[in-house]
Structure 1
């Protein structure tokens, strides 16, 4: 650098896809420690076991929020089925 030259600024790195919080709640979710098949039953299959697990889960609210924001169309998320999430979204509008 020559006298009078201004040093180039440090580049700014933006993390537009910060998933740290998302990964944190997913790792703490009870469903991550159980059989995933229970949360994605066959059409007409029982959702009772998955919903029972969700009732005791500390990140149930985060899970439901994620499903609503990402328009998850399959499975049990936050203790609700896809049909129940659709009804919830309609009531919120």
Structure 2
């Protein structure tokens, strides 16, 4: 019985809620303004990133490169251990 009331309530909400949706016309000036603002935002982000990258030198990146190198060495050693051929039982 509860399910019948729940289904009836959901159907009722669908009919009532559909009248709440309003469609607005979007004018071209709003879209042009949005495009212009997005272009300005992109250029601002590009300039900020270029400024940050320009301030980074090799000494700042040295710890990062050493950590990446250590991880690659560990991975290559593990790969070599896992892929090396098994010794045959005939060899002593």
- How high is the TM-score relative to the length of structure 1? 0.20
Higher relative contact order (CA 8 A, sep 6+): 1
- How high is the TM-score relative to the length of structure 2? 0.20
Q: Which has the higher helix share?
A: 2
